[in-house]
């Protein structure tokens, strides 16, 4: 079994095996729960508007035929395709189901969030708008 080195707690500097000592881990977890609880939640009706049967079929087709992430422009690896780590993303969420759906890495999709696509945010993107 490899030896794990202790490192200082991010809050108080006490040596620990994780990023925070036990006391500060609890404080951090409470704060994180509070932060997540304060985020706006989508209702079932709102989710149903975006993720209906038609969307799921389109998303499955997009992911099956994906070659590269439309946000960063990097090609998907064989492992990503086999492990189904590719996400289908609404390019313009404000359009609802009329929005095109393209394949993206989970990290790129999280970075974009629920905002409409903007080339300024993703300069390496392969997606071009007609605007």
Q: What is the pLDDT of residues 30-73, one digit of tens each?
A: 888 887 777 777 777 777 776 788 888 999 999 999 999 999 99
Query: CA-to-CA distance for 71 and 82, rounded, in angstroms?
Result: 20
Domain that holds residue 71: 44-112
Does residue 126 fall inside a structural domain? no
Model confidence pLDDT, tens digit, residues 38-47: 777 777 777 7
In a domain, 30, yes or no: yes
Q: Are strands 15-16 and 7-8 parallel, antiparallel or unpaired?
A: antiparallel
Contacts of 97 (CB under 8 A, 6+ apart): 49, 50, 52, 54, 55
Classify residue 129: in a domain, yes or no: no
Please count the structural domains in the chain. 2
Is the full-model pTM beyond 0.75?
no
Q: What distance in Å separates the CA atoms of residue 30 and residue 68, rounded to the nearest whole number?
A: 38
């Amino acid at each position: 079994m490899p030896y794990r080195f202790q490192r200082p707690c991010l809050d108080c500097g006490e040596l620990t095996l994780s990023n925070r000592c036990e006391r500060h881990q609890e404080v951090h977890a409470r704060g994180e729960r509070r932060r997540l609880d304060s985020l706006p939640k989508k209702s079932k009706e709102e989710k149903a508007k975006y993720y209906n049967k038609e969307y799921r079929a389109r998303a499955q087709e997009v992911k099956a035929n994906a070659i590269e992430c439309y946000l960063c422009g990097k090609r998907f690896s064989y492992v990503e395709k086999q492990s189904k780590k590719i996400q289908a993303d609404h390019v313009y969420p404000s359009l609802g189901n009329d929005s095109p759906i393209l394949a993206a890495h989970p990290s790129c999709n999280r970075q974009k969030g629920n905002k409409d696509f903007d080339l300024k945010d993703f300069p390496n993107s392969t997606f071009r708008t007609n605007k």
